[in-house]
Structures are given as structure tokens and as C-alpha cells.
């Protein structure tokens, strides 16, 4: 008695689809990330306060040269702090821009999807139906 097996073949096809472009994506693309506009005003305010402090430096041991050198040193310190803060601000702005572009790329990337498929099943003999049929044939031969 030979057993035939049931076989099944499945074929799937895949393709990429691009999510539709929406006004939200367009708005996000068009959005320009800006640095804090009040930053320059803050640095100018520090320099102005430094000038006011120089004008108030008085006393028997403070010469005009000392006042000028003190102001110059403080202005250099303010300028250095301003430059460091601007670099940090530019870094943060670039990081935000990268985050924006990464988000857009993730949301609009083509996605792999199943586009269709077929399943072919070939039925064969065997199993209980075949065993019962074979048992019936044997019983018929015995009684004949």
C-alpha cells in the first residue's frame, strides 16, 4: 500500500508602497527651526551692564587705566561666553533639524507589503479514508 501525501504550495508577492503625501508632511518639511532670537539681546545687555559697572568704579585706588582694563577683560569674558553659547545654540539647532528630517524620512519611507499570493493544494490518497478503503478491500477478499 503506497501512501500519497497532500502537498501545499504558497506563493506570495511583495512590493513597496509609499505613504501618501499629506499637508502635515508639507508643513513639517517647510518648518524652519530657528535659534533663540533673544540671545543677541542678552549678550548686548551684559556688555551694557559692564559699561555701567565701569562708570561706577570709583575710589582712591582705581585709576582710569584700571577701569579700562577691567572693562576690556570683562568684555572679552562676555565675548567668549557668547561664542560658546552660540556654538551650543547652533549645535542644538542642527540636532533639532536632524530630528525633523529623520522623522520625515521615517514617516514617508516606502513600506514593504504583501501585494498578493496564491496557494495550490494537491490532495493525495492516504490517511484514514485510504486505510478504510484498503481494509474494505481486504475484507471483501476474505469473504469471497
φ, ψ for residue 23, nearest 5 deg: -60, -30
Burial letters 120-130, b for 16+ CB under 10 A, else e: eeeeeeeeeee
Backbone torsions φ then ψ of 5, nearest 5 degrees: -100, 150
What confidence score (pLDDT) does residue 19 get? 86
Of residues 103, 92, 95, 101, the one with CA closest to residue 35: 92
Q: Is the pTM of this model over 0.85?
A: no
For the stretch 9-59, pLDDT in tens is 888 888 888 888 888 888 888 888 888 777 778 878 887 887 777 666 666
C-alpha cell at 11: 506563493
**What percentage of the chain reaches a pLDDT higher than 70?**
77
Nearest alpha carbon to residue 53 among 68, 63, 43, 40? 68
Amino acid at each position: 500500500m503506497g501512501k500519497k501525501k497532500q502537498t501545499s504550495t504558497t506563493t506570495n508577492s511583495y512590493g513597496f508602497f509609499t505613504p501618501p503625501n499629506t499637508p502635515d508632511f508639507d508643513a513639517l518639511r517647510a518648518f524652519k527651526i530657528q535659534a533663540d532670537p533673544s540671545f543677541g539681546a542678552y549678550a548686548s545687555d551684559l556688555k551694557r551692564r559692564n559699561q555701567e559697572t565701569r562708570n561706577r568704579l570709583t575710589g582712591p585706588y582705581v585709576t582710569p587705566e584700571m577701569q579700562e582694563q577691567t572693562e576690556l577683560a570683562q568684555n572679552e569674558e562676555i565675548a567668549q561666553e557668547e561664542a560658546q553659547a552660540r556654538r551650543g545654540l547652533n549645535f542644538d539647532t542642527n540636532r533639532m533639524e536632524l530630528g525633523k528630517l529623520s522623522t520625515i524620512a521615517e514617516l514617508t519611507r516606502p513600506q514593504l507589503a504583501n501585494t498578493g499570493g496564491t496557494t495550490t493544494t494537491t490532495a493525495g490518497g492516504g490517511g484514514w479514508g485510504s486505510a478504510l478503503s484498503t481494509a474494505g478491500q481486504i475484507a471483501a477478499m476474505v469473504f469471497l
